[in-house]
Amino acid sequence: MDPNNLVEMLSQTVERYPDKEALMWKQNGSYTSMTYQGFWDHIKNTAFGLASIGVKPDDKVAILANSNPKWAISDFAIASLGAVSVPIYPTLPSNQVSYVLDNGDCTVAIVENDEQLQKVKDGETETQHTVVMDDANVTLGNKVSSFDALEEKGARKPLENWEDRWKEIPEDQLMTIIHTSGTTGPPKGVMLSHENFLSNMKAIQFWLIELKAEDVHLSYLPVSHVFERMAGHYMPLFAGTTIAYAESIDTIQENMQEVKPTIMTSVPRLFEKVYAKVVEQIESGSPVKQKIFRWALGVGEQRYDYYMNTPVQELLLNNQMPKKLQRNLALADRLVYQKIKERLGGRMRGMVTGGGTLNPEIAKFFWSLDIPILEGYGLTETSPVVTTNPMSRAKVGTTGKPIPNVKVRIASDGEVLVKGPNVMQGYYKNKEATDKDIVDGWFHTGDIGALDEEGYLKIVDRKKRILVLSTGKNVAPAPIESVINESRYIEFAAVIGDGRKYVTALVTPDMENLVPWAKDQGIQTESREELCARDDVQKLLKDEVARLTETAADYETPKKVVVIGEEWTVEGGELTPKLSLRMKNIEEKYSKSIEEAYGDASISAKEVAAEAQ
């Protein structure tokens, strides 16, 4: 029976797999776990505890924490009461936390620790009650209680008819308010219902990677982001999959070896870093090893091309590759593929990426190594999935086809429009923005894209990010940034040039790889600022940009490269919590360096004239 709401969805999974591991997390140096029945019991008692402090239907409850079991418990406990969760990225500073609490009308906040508690206290918005997951060094009182104490209180004070209450929650009940990253203005609260998520889950369950109860999903993205919340939590919990929390992005490699995941969701930046690391290791190997690797990569490309170029009907009737290709694949798997898969835990059967544009060359690289990366497209406002590449017919360089219950069309100006049961209810307390973005049921995404002859969607860039040069040429910066990010020595690249004669790239160094390079060159310092100021380091990074963009059109190629000595972070305002660039902040912060770059007369009139051709 199809569930009416997400709480009922989870209850059905608990009935099927009560003794199976639901959640795993690192504790005291090793992974521990919680069964689906144990997970449900924690949800129930936490719901009772929240009710005891006054949480009732339609109340807004903030969750300010890194991903952990208590985040998931809180999410479902809040929903079971008919209340509304308001997730907040734990990396946000106190002034932005205060904005979300105020805009979301939050009366209660569930926070991770004392650090997050202080953000709530420092803000202008005062909550009626705050619950702290880790209460070490926290002063508890009438308005501040520990999560464990709240749950224990709930166990002693059961809520009458709790099960009847959540069973009666309708599909169109508001489930959560997720605030946008606010790259172009104040964050907007996206209202998503139970139906929004359920419709998305039903559409992609057999379209993407068919999740199984025996799967293990490694979760490292913040659950406060809609992509991880739906694809990395609701979907696995719907299928009875085990969710294992990574300790942090820095420990992913170690955590993969410990939990041996079979599936994973990620943003493109992780794949860019893994790609750069693998290429570096291959290039530093012997000529024989390099030759074997390139051969194996070529064999993998042949397999990918075979599946893409063979008619679907023929694949279904006779799923047999040419015998020579089969033999070569078996040998390549033994010599190369398995060794790289072992770095991912040895059991990875598929990874899903979203939240940004993945470089097609990197995607094909992983496919050729028999590590499928399925790219999709979506937004917070669409719960989030709009399109995705099916496992059986993934087309590298695209974000896939619209999922079965969603319609996509391209407006006359190239903007992607979306219609379906996954589209949000609107922006909280912002009818003007809602009416602007949803017209006749079609959500205007703000992204420029195109559908190919087979119906696969390709995203070019954000509409507001398209650069219009003074020469009249239009440049989409995202693909150029993605290519530059392939460099092992570059952490982030930001391409600018709107209203200018030519394109300039701002880059920050990847210190993990730059410091060893510097030592090999006899440079002793590990200081970021000192390294970035050196002429030889500047030349290295500028040469990397030139190398990686040499096949781009002349007017798309950065004529100047500005090396930024500072690290770009969420806290510093250069990045959003999903590691996208906050271009307005970046251009304002480095306006002097940008003006100096464009004021330099070293770009010849001949070069600028060539761009206008």
Q: What is the pLDDT of residue 40?
A: 98
* Confidence check: pLDDT of 124 > 80: no
Give the residue-averaged pLDDT of 469-481: 91
| 611 pLDDT tier (thresholds 50, 70, 90) | very low
Is the pLDDT reported for residue 413 higher than 50?
Answer: yes
- Is pLDDT above 90 for 600? no
Report residue 605's pLDDT band, with 50, 70 and 90 as the boundaries.
very low
Angle between helices 268-283 and 287-309 (to 10 degrees): 140
pLDDT confidence of residue 133: 97
Residue 314, pLDDT above cutoff 90? no
Question: What is the per-residue pLDDT for 317?
Answer: 63
- Which position has the higher pLDDT, 208 or 449? 449
AA letter at 46:
T
Mean residue pLDDT of the chain comes to 91
Query: And the tokens for 409?
Result: 């069309």
Confidence of residue 511 (pLDDT cuts 50, 70, 90): very high
In this prediction, residues 493-507 reach a mean pLDDT of: 95
Residue 3 has pLDDT above 60, yes or no: yes
| Distance, CA of 332 to CA of 339 (rounded, Å) | 10
The domains spanning 268-346+349-463 and 466-611 adopt the same CATH topology:
no
Asked whether the predicted pLDDT for residue 604 surpasses 50, the reply is no
How far apart CA 252 and CA 18 sit, in angstroms, is 28
Mind listing the pLDDT tens digit for each residue in 81-99?
A: 999 999 999 988 898 899 9
What average pLDDT does the segment 212-229 reach? Answer: 94
Q: Are 200 and 227 in contact (CB under 8 A)?
A: no
**What are the domain boundaries of the chain?**
6-169+210-262, 268-346+349-463, 466-611
- 466-611 folds as GMP Synthetase; Chain A, domain 3 (3.30.300)
pLDDT at 483 over 50: yes
Percent of the chain topping pLDDT 70 = 95
Q: Are 611 and 553 in contact (CB under 8 A)?
A: no
CA-wise closest residue to 74 among 53, 50, 103: 50
pLDDT at 277: 82
268-346+349-463 has which CATH code?
3.40.50.12780
Amino acid 280: pLDDT: 83
Q: What is the dihedral of CA 114, 115, 121, 125, to 10 degrees?
A: -120
pLDDT digits (tens, 9 = 90+) for 528-561: 989 999 999 999 999 999 999 999 999 999 999 9
SS3 355: coil
pLDDT category at 319 given cuts 50, 70, 90 is low
Residue 550: exposure state from Cβ atoms within 10 A (0-12, 13-18, ≥19): exposed
When mean pLDDT is compared over 36-45, 117-126, 185-194, the highest value belongs to 36-45
Yes or no: is domain 6-169+210-262 CATH 3.40.50.980? Answer: yes
Output b/e per residue, 428-454; b: 16+ Cβ within 10 A. Answer: bebeebbeebbeeebbbbebbbebeee
Q: pLDDT for 159-168, tens place per residue? A: 989 999 999 9
pLDDT in tens, 423-439: 999 999 999 999 999 99
Residue 462: pLDDT band with limits 50, 70, 90: confident
% of the chain residues with pLDDT over 90? 70
Q: CB–CB of 155/45 below 8 Å? A: yes
